[in-house]
Chain A
């Protein structure tokens, strides 16, 4: 998520000044991408300024105002734009504060996943041999266990805490990046500039850092953006089971609202809509990034 603002601010002089221009060109006429960036900006604002934006405290019980419908329905008022739940808590405020948990967890998890995945992927692709076999077999093992089951297992043992959720996300999500980085590293390894660097006596670590890594940035960014969406879904799924150690997140609200579907459908509906928009936005940003860095690739077809 922190990638987006970095891309809209002017790039340093020597580092490809055409990025901003390319982004603007890509955005023009691409309504979906504009919408996605808008959603991401709104989410960022919610995460950073939740206490100032939210009309109410997310945990304040207002028992007089229980089960108020959203403002656009009969009986609703703009005091509670999206209605209240059975304890009179404001649905909108809970969504705004919930963004901190849902997005924060997902972003932290993806950060670990990227770090571990890029490192192991580089090692596997660049050194090959036994390293490659070991790491890729480990990837196969993790691939065979659904992430949600792995998460349930680990949390059952380590306990329902946000830190543990982040840990699980990181240590299951890295295989996405490792596979992509390995594939690319295998290709880049054979490129002329790497051979040239090697013939100059550059040490492998330096080659990896200076020549291979920069070429991997684009595909990793694309995957990371989409993975944030995926992790938001995972986090909400886990809080749906009530095992994230917090009662203030989108998934928890859906699980809570599920019990009151017949009397107050909005409690479960709007947090889900928030998840949907968030994941959609991060998927679209991923598409946008891919089009930016690889205009002639697969995406060029569509």
Chain B
């Protein structure tokens, strides 16, 4: 087991190193000199050289790469060219909002999707099945930014039930207020997060619904189902106690692998709903060509992806006796 753990950790480190190298390569082998952006077109030759020197752009490539890796190892992800703040601080300030949005989306829509998938599989080829399949197909075929715009049109512009942008109070404050008997902040929080979470979660819901349905149908053909049925267990009991736990393993793995696309979706969703998260910071940085922030953001997302999937694997390690006892 220790060997397995070690191999898994090594793999995670390799992937993150690979992502860091890839981002470095894209930024440094691309045509054009980033210093031009900084000093402007009308700068003198000296100013230009000075900026190049201060950014380390006059060093040979391999030295820049080694420096970059060294800085990464010491937790230095560079300084924003535009704001002059360390990129890590800027990202850390915005990250909680993105995680909050992503978590709420996943925690509402993944369980809902499992439910739809189970319904679909149990009542196969009934209107219930076709209904959930349609929801799933709708979800994979809809661009989430359009879905967001349509939700705003319906719930904010036409019905005027929900706000179209911004976030409510911090969730921690809202929960704290709840203890003093004040529910208003929590309701305000929920009213702000429901549309962005729906925009972000629909795609995930669609994929998980399909996955759950196929997985349950596949499991139902396994011998253990027959044995359980032969012993007198009801069909519902078999699904609830034997099939579903097995399918949940696939679902959790899958959601882990979709963390990347959730974070990618957050970039778009945050832009539409003016949600003050990391995604919006990325878009702003791209608009003003703030390379260090973009670079650090991409790395952070890659790191979160690898970390979450490592976590998923560790949970298995703990759940699955076949791995645990080896």
- Residue from the list B18, B137, B268, B272 in contact with A141, Cβ < 8 A: B18
Q: Are A254 and B146 interface neighbours, CB within 8 A?
A: yes
Query: Which B residues lie at the A interface, using CB under 8 A?
Result: 11, 14-16, 18-19, 22-23, 26-27, 30-32, 124, 137-138, 140-146, 149-150, 152-153, 157, 213-214, 217-218, 221, 257, 260-261, 263-265, 267-268, 271-272, 282-283, 286, 289, 291, 294-295, 297-298, 301-302, 305-306
Q: Are A280 and B137 interface neighbours, CB within 8 A?
A: yes
- Residue from the list B124, B267, B286, B302 in contact with A144, Cβ < 8 A: B302
Query: Which A residues lie at the B interface, using CB under 8 A?
Result: 137-138, 140-150, 152-158, 229, 233, 236-237, 240-241, 243, 251, 254-255, 257-258, 261-262, 265, 268-269, 272, 275-277, 279-280, 283-284, 298, 301-302
Q: Which residue of A lies closest to B28 (CB)?
A: A157
What 11 new A-B contacts, CB under 8 Å, besides A153-B286, A261-B157, A269-B153?
A140-B14, A143-B260, A144-B16, A148-B267, A156-B286, A240-B145, A240-B268, A257-B149, A279-B140, A283-B140, A301-B214
- Residue from the list B11, B152, B289 in contact with A156, Cβ < 8 A: B289
Q: Are B153 and A261 interface neighbours, CB within 8 A?
A: yes
- Name the A residues within 8 Å of B306 (CB-CB): 144
Q: Are A275 and B267 interface neighbours, CB within 8 A?
A: no
Q: Which residue of B lies closest to A255 (CB)?
A: B145
Distance in angstroms from A81 CB to nearest chain B CB is: 20
Q: Show 19 A/B contacts (Cβ-Cβ < 8 Å), sorted by A.
A: A141-B18, A141-B22, A142-B22, A144-B16, A145-B260, A149-B263, A152-B267, A156-B289, A157-B291, A229-B141, A240-B268, A243-B286, A254-B149, A275-B143, A276-B141, A276-B142, A280-B138, A280-B141, A301-B218
Q: Are B218 and A144 interface neighbours, CB within 8 A?
A: no
Q: Are B298 and A149 interface neighbours, CB within 8 A?
A: yes
Q: In whole angstroms, how far apart are the Cα atoms of A138 and B267 in the complex? A: 24
Q: Are B264 and A146 interface neighbours, CB within 8 A?
A: yes
A144-B260, A144-B305 known; A268 vs B286 contact (CB < 8 Å): no
Q: In whole angstroms, how far apart are the Cα atoms of A283 and B207 in the complex? A: 13
- Name the A residues within 8 Å of B143 (CB-CB): 233, 236-237, 240, 251, 254, 272, 275-276, 279
Distance in angstroms from A228 CB to nearest chain B CB is: 12
A144-B302, A261-B152 known; A302 vs B217 contact (CB < 8 Å): yes
- Name the A residues within 8 Å of B218 (CB-CB): 298, 301
> Among A146, A158, A301, which residue has the most Cβ atoms of chain B within 10 A?
A146
- Name the A residues within 8 Å of B297 (CB-CB): 149
Q: Which residue of A lies closest to B148 (CB)?
A: A258
Q: In whole angstroms, how far apart are the Cα atoms of A279 and B144 in the complex? A: 13
- Name the A residues within 8 Å of B146 (CB-CB): 236, 254, 268, 272, 275-276
